[in-house]
Chains A and B, each alone.
Chain A
Amino acid sequence: MTSSPVKAQAAGTDGRAALKQFTRALGVAIVLLVIWRVTTVGLAEGYPVSFWISQALNGLVLGGVYALVALGYTLVYGILFMINFAHGEVMMIGGITGFFALQFAQARGWMEGPWPVVVVALLLIMFVGMAASVVIGVTLERLAYRPLRQAPRLVPLISAIGASLFLQYSVLLIFGVSPHSYRKPALISGGLRLGDVFIPYTGAIIFVTSILLMLALFFIIQRTKLGRAMRAVAEDRSTASLMGVDVNAVIVVTFMLGSALAGAAGVMLGFHNTVVKFNSGFIPGLKAFTAAVLGGIGNIPGAMFGALILGLIEAIGPSALGIPTEYKDVIAFTLLVLILIFRPTGLFGEVLSEKKA
């Protein structure tokens, strides 16, 4: 009688040790496979250095956009310990709204105007997209998540998936299946040629804008009273409320910031991919989520670096591994699974394990 729990425990530790060995072997196998592909296929192709540089720059642009979206996942997770799976749709709605703002600007000829007019118009388009995303993000928090704040953790997650589908199919119903195409103004259509490397203006603008927005967010979080309250609420909600912090207001502000960044990303992705439609947020949303997990979810610098790394891997990966570019999504999601198996706290994260979660 008395020995059976001991035995069960021993079996448990045996099983765990075996699993650990198995995952370690799997890890080694994957690393060897990647090295083998890169040396025998990727490098053997003999692409010029300028090709790799171009790919890397492309990756950084995409990474910058992912970072803006990843920050929304990580901010919300940091405060509510929930994954806002509708965040990709928050971004998509920013993109769709940005498209209509762009159409409005085009109809008035602003996009063919002198360069200051074009720049101001582009900024306005981005703000409109951001504002739309903020409205959607705040509404989601109020209607889909706040009522479930006391529920078990799986419940708001299901609500988020429901909200994601609701938003996608609402957009489908209202705006139809056909993609809305973003036409770039002539001013930013060209690019810069540095030797053999071509840098499109849009790419450069997207990257710089992403970095500026991230710096602004970083400033708000690290240097302002509001940011300090956000960090306090993320650590301990009820103690923060003892300090006079209105926790619900801070949560709303967190959704606003995350959604604003997603809206900007949606508009920039519109210009980058040239189209938006009802499901444009889905895959990029998952990629950004992957980036947030890669950097350690809840960790703000982690989300930024995770996204840049993911962007680079996605851009260089297909050529390096010698697989068709259409399969680049496979790389991102394989990476997600691998991180969840081998390093669930992400590359930069002890953050998660510290928290009560």
Chain B
Amino acid sequence: MLTLESVHTYYGHIHALKGISLTVNEGEIVTLIGSNGAGKTTTLNTISGVLSARAGAIYLQEGDHSRRSPSAGGEHDLRLDRLPAHEVARLGVSQSPEGRKIFARLSVRENLAMGAFARTDRDGISGDLDRVLELFPRLQERLSQPGGTLSGGEQQMLAIGRALMSSPRILLLDEPSMGLAPILVQQIFQIIREINAQGTTILLVEQNAQAALQVANRGYVLETGNIVLSGAARDLLADPQVAEAYLGI
């Protein structure tokens, strides 16, 4: 569904992504793990169009409603690199960014409404609002509070809920467990599973490799801008190299 082909991204002269290739298939949870500074956030922001790739290509399979060849081959895929962030978002690629990035002065309800900004289907929006509030009942009682007054865990829930409000085809999650108490981390990963079970494809970026590999189908290991390892999540969990570097065993 989403394909990156040797993507290179730079910050000025800093070469942050050195030819990343990865694929996320429809219905999967794919995780991108790696230590701090490996380029995980850069990868998500390049997909989202916040950063632009200097070389390589990013493809998104066309949606179900549009004409698509049965082979789902390259020629009917949409090219995402070159598109500005707001257009990528409108194609159904939604990101819950690192550090949550809640609009602190907008109410929780307004934050969720921002997630549905590109939509015009009132019924669909209110249906998704119900769904998000069902996933995160804590947000229900805080709807009219400013986003900035929420606790870290609640902000993370709001960030994920906001990303879901666009009814995305693929959800990009950047370190959803960062800075949360262990019990909340468990809860967040449980919810990620649930969202996926409801039919949303997920690309999950994590430093918490253990937890991420436990929910994911497949994983990629990123090191200083290169993918050094990839495979089924359970194989990566068993891999001694991964265990040493990322699982703290």
Contacts and interface: CB of A to CB of B under 8 A. Distances in A.
Interface of A: 225, 228-229, 231-232, 235-236, 238-247, 354
Contacts of B117: 225, 229, 243-245
Contacts of B86: 241, 243-247
B103 to A, nearest CB: 5
Contact of B89 (A229, A236, A244, A354): A244
Contacts of B49: 241
B97 A239 contact: yes
Interface stretch (B74-82, B108-116, B219-227): B108-116
B105 A228 contact: no
B85 interface: yes
B57 to A, nearest CB: 21
Contact of B50 (A228, A231, A241, A354): A241
A245 to B, nearest CB: 6
B104 interface: yes
Interface string B78-105: 0000001110011000110100010111
Contacts of A242: 48, 50, 85, 89, 94-95, 97, 101
A218 B90 CA distance: 28
Interface of B: 48-50, 84-86, 89-90, 94-95, 97, 101, 103-106, 110, 113-115, 117-118, 162, 166
B103 A232 contact: yes
A243 B103 CA distance: 12
A241 B48 CA distance: 9
A231 B89 contact: no
Contacts of B114: 228-229, 232, 240, 243, 245
B122 to A, nearest CB: 12
Nearest to B48: A242
Nearest to A228: B110
B115 A243 contact: yes
Contacts of B94: 242
A246 B113 CA distance: 16
29 contacts: A225-B117, A228-B106, A228-B110, A228-B113, A228-B114, A229-B114, A232-B103, A232-B114, A235-B105, A236-B101, A238-B50, A239-B97, A239-B103, A240-B114, A241-B49, A241-B50, A241-B84, A242-B89, A242-B94, A243-B89, A243-B114, A243-B117, A243-B118, A243-B162, A243-B166, A244-B117, A244-B166, A245-B117, A246-B84
Contact of B105 (A225, A231, A241, A243): A231
A18 B118 CA distance: 54
Contacts of B106: 228, 231-232, 235
A83 B91 CA distance: 35
Among B48, B85, B95, B113, the one with the most A-chain Cβ atoms within 10 Å of its Cβ is B85
Contacts of A231: 103, 105-106, 110
Contacts of A238: 50, 85
B103 A236 contact: yes
Nearest to B94: A242
Contacts of A246: 84, 86
B101 to A, nearest CB: 4
B234 to A, nearest CB: 32
Nearest to B111: A232
Given A228-B106, A242-B50, A243-B86, 14 more contacts: A225-B117, A228-B113, A231-B106, A235-B105, A239-B101, A239-B103, A241-B49, A241-B85, A242-B48, A242-B95, A242-B101, A244-B117, A245-B117, A354-B104
